Amino acid sequence: MEYTTELLDRTTGDLDTVSLGNWVTVTEYGATKGVGSRQVRAILSHLGLLQEQLEASKSGNTRVARRRLTVDAVKAGLGKCIYPKKAGAFPFDVLSPKGQAWIDQRWDEAVQTMASEIASSPMVTMATECLDGFKASRGSDMTPQMEVCFLSDHFPDLLQVDICRITGASPRMVSLHVNTRADQIRAWKARRAASLPVNKHVTFNPDLIDTQGWTSS
């Protein structure tokens, strides 16, 4: 999207509209690099351009974690944080032409570094391949929670920092999904272990069972 600003022409006294160039959202920038919304945010977080922040949810009743542009990035003119005035609209970030150029210069190195971190661990490499294979067999996308639970189920020794590297989810979200899964498992085990109520007025008499397995009349 092209952003513009108005500057006063002191010679004529008129306001002139000046183009600020093509600004794109973080997700749109990721699309130009062939990666999804989670992956581009993971890479920009690795570069220090984004950081996790707690903000009001869409309903306004709770707070959620979002990866947003840092204060320093905004001050440097690399992008802007947009907070729509329309009720229920999600806040989002846009990258300036300067910001896009800044990322372009560092993108390949960041991707290679993150790939090296995964490749350096056989378990992380195996987990990544296993998750990719499962997603391909499904033929549909998986939510971050589904991916985190899949990795936790099949690779219980996998560190949360490695789950972040594999899924592109933020540390806070990975921790939330891991804890939610653990709570659900504990609740399920508790229900399974709970004894059924016993009717104390019913007694069992083996003499009343005939040879056919039916109670005698």
The alpha-helical segments, DSSP class H, found in the chain are 26-32, 37-46, 71-75, 97-119, 122-138, 144-154, 160-167, 171-193
**Residue with more model confidence, 80 or 13:** 80
Residue 75 pLDDT class (50, 70, 90 cuts): very high
What totals of helices (H) and strands (E) does the chain contain, helices first? 8, 7
- Residue 165: alpha-carbon gap to chain centroid: 11
> For position 27, what pLDDT does the model report?
95
The stretches of 21-96 forming alpha helices (DSSP H) are: 26-32, 37-46, 71-75
Residue 78, classed as helix, strand or coil, is coil
Encode pLDDT of 114-141 as tens digits.
999 999 999 999 999 999 999 999 887 8
d(CA 49, CA 202): 70
Instruction: Assign 217 a pLDDT band (cuts: 50, 70, 90).
Output: very low
Q: What is the pLDDT of residue 200?
A: 57
pLDDT at 163: 95
6: pLDDT strictly greater than 70: no
pLDDT of 215 reads: 44
Parallel, antiparallel or unpaired: strands 92-95 and 14-22: unpaired
Residues 35-58 pLDDT 10s: 999 999 999 999 999 998 887 666
pLDDT tens readout for residues 164-204: 999 999 998 999 999 999 999 998 888 888 865 655 555 55
Please provide the average confidence, as pLDDT, over all residues in the chain. Answer: 83
